[in-house]
Amino acid sequence: MTIAFRYADPVAELALGDLAPGNDVLATQLAHRSVRRFTDRDVTEAELTALVAAAQSAPTSSNLQAWSVVAVRDPARRARLAALAGGQGFIEQAPLFLVWVADLGRARRLGARSGVDLAATEYVETTLIGFIDAALAAQNAVVAAESLGLGTVFVGAIRNRPLDVAAELGLPDHTVAAFGLAVGAPDPAENAGIKPRLPQSAVVHREQYDAPAADAAIPAYDERLAAYNERHGLPGDWSSRVLARLAGTSSMAGRHTLRDALAERGLPSR
């Protein structure tokens, strides 16, 4: 039962027993995992069309549709993007790499054609809309991909060098790559599983936020995730990885300069 794998917690399994996948959508979502090894099976144009249609079916703030996606198949371009994203080899191996773009350029061009100064595009709220819309769209695409038997992995490291990525993809002004998504058929030999998440008691609050109750669940989760990581050759528990990842700019792989890069891309985010 996928709930058992999602939480790696028999108590949670019993408490959520009634949720045990009652339909194919829940089964697909609960079985999600990141895929970093792919077979040589291509992703067809029909499948790409389906993924984009699913992405466009996601909610979008005020119907602004403030995102775009660049589908990259060319092996040489994927290799260059992999290098810009910290040398992650699976970007080269996956037959399709989707770069999701926070796109205020479309609206800005509309404003220019209409003679309207879109001053609201210069504020952080509107920049956030672009990133949020892109994330909602991409997650829809992930579920669609998995329903087709494909695997995916998000690549936040596409923000390591946003100006170089923009140049590689020919992005226009007022746009920036938000993240990448490698897509392909999962290699069944990959040593990977369904990574346990925090228990619901750590993330769900009733009426008001209760930090002590939520944080009380973390030690047990650390034990479960450490056991999962050990099985898959990974070090540490959840707490230690969070502390290391957020310790300072040295762990951000260049992304601490993102505000300056956004301004240079025409997204001043005042």
Task: Summarize pLDDT for 49-80 with one digit per residue, the tens.
Answer: 999 999 999 999 999 999 999 999 999 999 99
pTM of the predicted protein model: 0.93
Q: What share of the chain is helix, strand, coil (3-state, %, to 5)?
A: 55, 10, 35
Q: Domains, the chain, ranges and CATH? A: 33-193+232-264 (3.40.109.10)
Q: Taking a C-beta distance cutoff of 8 angstroms, is the pair 139, 100 a contact?
A: no
208-247: buried (b, 16+ CB within 10 Å) or exposed (e) per residue? eeeeeebeebbeebbebbbebbeeeeeeebbeebeeeeee
- pLDDT value, residue 2: 66
- pLDDT value, residue 9: 76
- pLDDT value, residue 11: 65
Using the 8-state DSSP alphabet, how is residue 159 labeled? G
Mean pLDDT computed over every residue of the chain: 93
What is the C-alpha to C-alpha distance for residues 145 and 49, in angstroms, rounded to an integer?
11
In the predicted structure, residue 18 carries a pLDDT above the cut 60: no
Reported as a pLDDT band with limits 50, 70 and 90, residue 19 is low
Reported as a pLDDT band with limits 50, 70 and 90, residue 183 is very high
- pLDDT value, residue 209: 97
In the predicted structure, residue 83 carries a pLDDT above the cut 80: yes
Q: Which of 20-24, 39-43, 237-241 comes out lowest in average pLDDT?
A: 20-24
Q: Can you say whether the dihedral through the CA atoms of 98, 102, 108, 110 is positive or negative?
A: positive
* CA distance readout (Å), 125 to 42, 107, 128, 263, 270: 38, 15, 5, 14, 9
In the predicted structure, residue 121 carries a pLDDT above the cut 80: yes
In the predicted structure, residue 1 carries a pLDDT above the cut 60: no
What is the mean predicted confidence (pLDDT) over 243-266?
Answer: 94
What is the C-alpha to C-alpha distance for residues 126 and 103, in angstroms, rounded to an integer?
10
In the predicted structure, residue 206 carries a pLDDT above the cut 90: yes
